[in-house]
Structure 1
């Protein structure tokens, strides 16, 4: 084995090269000016004090040449010397856009595991054949006008009826208060709201439902139930309805709601977990508070777990369409056929047009925290973000909160905003969510466990009461992506089985919001 050049440390001690075709390395330990690093038999002198998550050039990159990470262009050089810190000052965000797809595009189906080799978990098998990871009694306000009462009913019921102690098969009584509905919003926003609420009611993580309205709103009980009938949606679970005006106001509606919940709890508690194939899971993958390591550790490790699930016959849902921008060609080329690839492009183009109506530009998606962590532009962020979808082919695309029609990897229309995109994944059928973060986040969901994975060791150590797992060992060099992916997959099955709770569940996080697509207030 060739020795290191005199006075130079191995590059791997300070940085990571993501792909052999890259001409930059990502810093994992803060460098000092003049640091000598050995790489490929030569010495690179780092010209700056570079923070973790950012990158330096492995060689001189002349003006006009592409800067590459993940084996893909992430920008165009304005003239970057070897060892120089890559910043907005010396790299533009210009990257090639190539969208041609061959008409005979075809990607083979996943390499499925034999049935007898597939992992298993214990879930709640519902009458429609779907399998839940949790068993909640859910209080659904059909509009913001009933959200206060819904929240009061759920909160009081859990304490009054000592739910977790008396009804061990019930994971909780939860509500999904929101600010939509009533009569001040129209257009597709109402369609999205009705679809989301209906799919939460029908969700396999829900064992009983209480619907509550004010009585005069556009999204009242009659309209919601008509919407469900028109789509042949049958809940096949205990169901009760309350109208606040009809009941006599707030206090009367809350009292009646508590009586209904008390009657539902024994029926919901009758559900029991059964052992089933891991292929019955529907996994939502999500990222938030990302940093320069997210695409190097947590996202590809979650992608590894996603691949294991798909190969087990399961389903994976990925959204955050603004964070496909700059990487959509990779997803399109991974589509099952050309028609699906074109659908991927339409997904992104629709969002670009949608954003432009409000004066927004998708290229401005990276937040100040993202940029500070090394995600200088949307291309870098997107290339790292899509890694959490794994490597199997894209089966199709769905609308926000639309129930996924098949198995394998699917893409869902929707924003990157955590508080809206996570509930959309669950509405589409996700029974568990893997959520990666580089800077730390605490989010959960009202009815589905959200397992959070840190991209680096420091944020995991700092927020280990909120973050379930660390992929920082990949950056530290003590585990591979494959090893962490397997660890994530195994932990996911334990959470899905109810053996352990996600940290967000332990902390009482029950976030819910609905994407206000095309909102018009009248």
Structure 2
């Protein structure tokens, strides 16, 4: 295994693949670099002497400048590095030519999915229950408890047993330290319906904020109703909130025209008592579940896959192993006629020109530039900025600047042409790669990806994160083997073998696509589904990085 590498031949920063000690030598691109200080794996070091103001390069892009003199072999840190990103113009530069990957292995392949009347195919068959306003969260949770108990979703909770054991030990005077977690099975009884699952969403929006936020919520929920993983939905409305039923209906009409899925709407202020509301919603939803359960999986071409591309808890290896692996999968899905959606606009900082050059339609390139500049200005107007995007965990594990983080994050989008630019809540209509404006916040971004049509989400992480989604399976991809072994309960796929030199990006990508087919067909459940990680946070259009 190599000690260190560069990602692009023009880079003047090396990446430590393993811990390096002061005094040893690292061979990079035929050049010997004397290491000046201990450098942890994932971190970067200078390959040449840098003076104050000198630019640092990774991925062939500017990722920072030297704040102090940095000697060759010295570590790159927040103390000696300032954020700087490659600038971009309003125009496409040069001619773009794309060579699609070899997908002969996957041509003619299918997955077993749920076919919808609009031509989309779901990887899951969910009945969705959600409120238009946070005032109805309690009623949603009441329905959830009733349905999950009756339908066999209720799980034996080992933590309940641990809490009971602690109470017993307190009463008997036994040692609390000897209490252990129960070993109850995950599922206590057989589920009533085999072909449909009921999923519940709560949120803190719909009223009290700006009208823009409530309108955006309705557009987001309309996207969830349109998503092929949804068979139909039950909606609870209080009645007086900003997010009116009529606004949701307009959002549906603007997105799909006429919704052909069943939609049950219950208004508490019209109904009267809470008892009558919940009783009616429960009865009618149960009847709808009976019908939704009649839908069965049937073969569908891989062109019916829409993959969302996400990262969270990234580390210094994410942009070398996991993210490029997703990029290869994205290119294969695109070559097969499917859709891929790359989100997180704050994490495209510094790679704008590359993406502009890949955008087929000049009008879309203009839209991308406008969205990026508006987002950056909104952050600056409240005293923030994209340069403040890296989290403490990112920095601790080698991502020192936002440009450094973004250069690696963008690798999830592969190399294919950019076919569309989507603002938040806009639905992916075009085959190929689309860019979706969302924050970098894991849950807000993932929530947006699914609202724009993703029927499976690929999520890379170097530090580990438990993010899931109520209606779309999320496949977690580790950038390194240590994480995959340490947090095996949430990691589905280990791309760390790329770092170890055991597999190439192309080999990892093909292996991952095989896994995605199994996930999409329901023969394998992702860890997020098994753990019932079902996160949903709408993006309020203020500043969230």
TM-score under structure 2 normalisation?
A: 0.88
TM-aligned CA deviation for residue 518 of structure 1: 4.2
Write the distance in 2 (CA, Å) between the matches of 1:350 and 1:131. Answer: 35
Write the distance in 2 (CA, Å) between the matches of 1:404 and 1:137. Answer: 22
Given that residues 300 and 390 in structure 1 are in contact (C-alpha distance below 8 angstroms), is that contact kept between their aligned partners in structure 2? yes
2:205 is matched with: 180
Q: Does residue 1:325 correspond to 2:354, yes or no?
A: no
Q: Counterparts of 1:24-423 in structure 2 under 5 Å? A: 24-77=13-66, 78-99=68-89, 101-102=91-92, 117-162=107-152, 165-170=191-196, 172-182=197-207, 184-229=208-253, 233-423=257-447
Secondary structure of 2:300's match? strand
Change (3 A) 1:248 1:161: farther
TM-aligned CA deviation for residue 118 of structure 1: 4.1
Change (3 A) 1:124 1:40: closer
Write the distance in 2 (CA, Å) between the matches of 1:403 and 1:253. Answer: 32
Given that residues 252 and 259 in structure 2 are in contact (C-alpha distance below 8 angstroms), is that contact kept between their aligned partners in structure 1? no
Change (3 A) 1:509 1:94: closer
Write the distance in 1 (CA, Å) between the matches of 2:99 and 2:541. Answer: 33
Residue 527 (structure 2) aligned to one of 491, 499, 503: 503
Secondary structure of 1:75's match? strand
TM-aligned CA deviation for residue 67 of structure 1: 1.8
Secondary structure of 1:25's match? strand
CA deviations 1:302-358 (Å, max 9, x no partner) are 111111111110000111111111221121111114333232221210111222333
Change (3 A) 1:149 1:484: same
Change (3 A) 1:62 1:470: same
Number of residue pairs matched by the alignment? 506
Secondary structure of 1:117's match? coil
Write the distance in 1 (CA, Å) between the matches of 2:105 and 2:4. Answer: 41
C-alpha RMSD over aligned residues: 2.2
Write the distance in 2 (CA, Å) between the matches of 1:21 and 1:444. Answer: 38
Given that residues 446 and 509 in structure 1 are in contact (C-alpha distance below 8 angstroms), is that contact kept between their aligned partners in structure 2? yes
Residue 488 (structure 1) aligned to one of 481, 504, 512: 512
Secondary structure of 2:191's match? helix
TM-aligned CA deviation for residue 114 of structure 1: 7.5
Given that residues 17 and 25 in structure 1 are in contact (C-alpha distance below 8 angstroms), is that contact kept between their aligned partners in structure 2? yes
CA deviations 1:58-113 (Å, max 9, x no partner) are 23345544322112222224433221112234433234424252488665696795
Write the distance in 1 (CA, Å) between the matches of 2:24 and 2:105. Answer: 53
2:4 is matched with: 15
CA deviations 1:352-391 (Å, max 9, x no partner) are 1222333321111111111111111011010000000111
Q: Counterparts of 1:430-449 in structure 2 under 5 Å? A: 430-449=454-473
Secondary structure of 1:139's match? strand
Write the distance in 1 (CA, Å) between the matches of 2:267 and 2:250. Answer: 16
TM-aligned CA deviation for residue 252 of structure 1: 3.1
Given that residues 238 and 267 in structure 1 are in contact (C-alpha distance below 8 angstroms), is that contact kept between their aligned partners in structure 2? no
Change (3 A) 1:227 1:94: closer
The runs of 5 or more residues in structure 2 that have no matched partner are 154-189
Write the distance in 1 (CA, Å) between the matches of 2:254 and 2:56. Answer: 52
Write the distance in 2 (CA, Å) between the matches of 1:116 and 1:39. Answer: 36
CA deviations 1:418-444 (Å, max 9, x no partner) are 121111110100000000001000010
Write the distance in 1 (CA, Å) between the matches of 2:315 and 2:497. Answer: 15
Change (3 A) 1:391 1:365: same
Change (3 A) 1:185 1:88: closer
Given that residues 439 and 445 in structure 2 are in contact (C-alpha distance below 8 angstroms), is that contact kept between their aligned partners in structure 1? yes
CA deviations 1:189-220 (Å, max 9, x no partner) are 12211101111122210112111111221223
Write the distance in 1 (CA, Å) between the matches of 2:460 and 2:358. Answer: 22
Given that residues 27 and 51 in structure 1 are in contact (C-alpha distance below 8 angstroms), is that contact kept between their aligned partners in structure 2? yes
The runs of 5 or more residues in structure 1 that have no matched partner are 1-11
TM-aligned CA deviation for residue 297 of structure 1: 0.6
Change (3 A) 1:22 1:258: same
CA deviations 1:27-80 (Å, max 9, x no partner) are 121111111233455532211111121111223345544322112222224433
